[in-house]
Amino acid sequence: MRPLSWHCPTDPAGPTSAQILKILLVIYRLIQSNSYATKRDIYYNNTQLFGSQKTVDGIVDDISCMLKVPRRSLHVLATCKGLISGDLCYMEEDGTRIDCNSSSAVSSINSRNKLAPLTAVAVSSNIDGIRNIVSCAKFVLIVEKDATFQRLLDDDFCTKLSPCIIITGKGVPDVNSRLMVRKLWDTLHIPIFALVDADPHGIEIMCIYKYGSVAMSFEAHSLTVPSVMWLGLLPSDLQRLRVPEDALIPLTRTDENKLTSLLKRPYLTSQPDWQKEMELMQQTKVKAEIQSLAAIGPDYLTNIYLPNKLRYGGWV
């Protein structure tokens, strides 16, 4: 652990008190709201103030040392939250070759008597340094939740239908997951779909990938992919597919408020189809998780819902 450099105002290379106070404030907010951020998220939240990722890393380490608590207790994560899998290989900055396209154990047979599914790889912490991206994927599927992502892995989704890449930021995505989606879009020029719960929280997460987060509005275009399409779960799917009623959940007051405020966001005025879906949710006053499709059939999501959507263009 390096010494506490802010005791030494003559050290020109040390962090400024504005930088340190900012990070203390961020940590305070994270703990107060019981949420987590990566060091990368903190840097990206104010790149001008911090100047470099190293500055943030150093200050976080110092605070952890000064308070004698591990970094995790400060609600700051070192690594990325996101996972990625599918038809994709690339080289990290240090020369490591990353293969998201191979099975975890080639010889092993999993519980469902199939070949082991593809492995998932943690999203790189240095997206800028990624080189030599190779992929035959036909599309990228952003998956809101880790549970759904794992399910698609188990069901071998990426090799069954057509080659594709699946990525999850495990809920509200961190900066690296978003940078990775952007990188794939810039490099591969293939469609990017989102699979989220049919609820206001899912829609908000999809908007973060597509338009950016409200909290980080300065962050600009390097993090967003304006062409993200809403594949599912659409509020209109719930009626069309006759999802059983006991799999639907009534909207809470908080949900309704969030939906109203989402509908007021200026960028949605250019998305009439999204607005229509959201208004349908407002009228029916119900939401549903992706898992609700299991009420129709246990393998419905992977074997019927997604293939049909992708084949017949069921996105907005």
Binding mask 6-45 for ligand NAG (x = CB under 6 A): --------------------x--x-------x---xx--x
End-to-end CA distance of the chain: 51
Which member of 31, 89, 280, 304 binds ligand NAG (CB under 6 A)?
Answer: 89
Taking the complex as a whole, how short is the minimal distance between the CB of residue 218 and ligand NAG, in angstroms? Answer: 9
Residues 199-238, interacting with ligand NAG (CB under 6 A): 215-216
Q: Does 176 bind ligand NAG (CB under 6 A)?
A: no
125, with CB counted inside 10 A (0-12, 13-18, 19+), is middle
Rank residues 185 and 305 by Cβ distance to ligand NAG and give the closer one. 185
Total residue length of the chain: 316
Catalytic residue among 28, 43, 44, 211: 44
- Whether residue 44 lies in the annotated active site: yes
Residues 245-304, interacting with ligand NAG (CB under 6 A): none
Binding mask 91-120 for ligand NAG (x = CB under 6 A): ----------x-------------------
Rounded alpha-carbon distances, angstroms, from residue 274 to 159, 263, 281: 30, 9, 11
Which stretch of DSSP H or E encloses residue 255?
helix 253-263
Q: Does 165 bind ligand NAG (CB under 6 A)?
A: no
The answer to whether residues 230 and 276 touch, using CB atoms and an 8 Å cutoff, is no
Q: CA–CA separation, 212 vs 45, rounded Å?
A: 12
Q: Does 78 bind ligand NAG (CB under 6 A)?
A: no
Tokens 């973060």, residue located: 208
Which member of 135, 224, 292, 302 binds ligand NAG (CB under 6 A)?
Answer: 135
Which member of 28, 134, 239, 299 binds ligand NAG (CB under 6 A)?
Answer: 134
The answer to whether residues 45 and 216 touch, using CB atoms and an 8 Å cutoff, is yes
247, with CB counted inside 10 A (0-12, 13-18, 19+), is middle
Residues that bind ligand NAG (CB under 6 A): 26, 29, 37, 41-42, 45, 87-89, 101, 134-136, 215-216
Hey, which residues are catalytic here?
Answer: 44
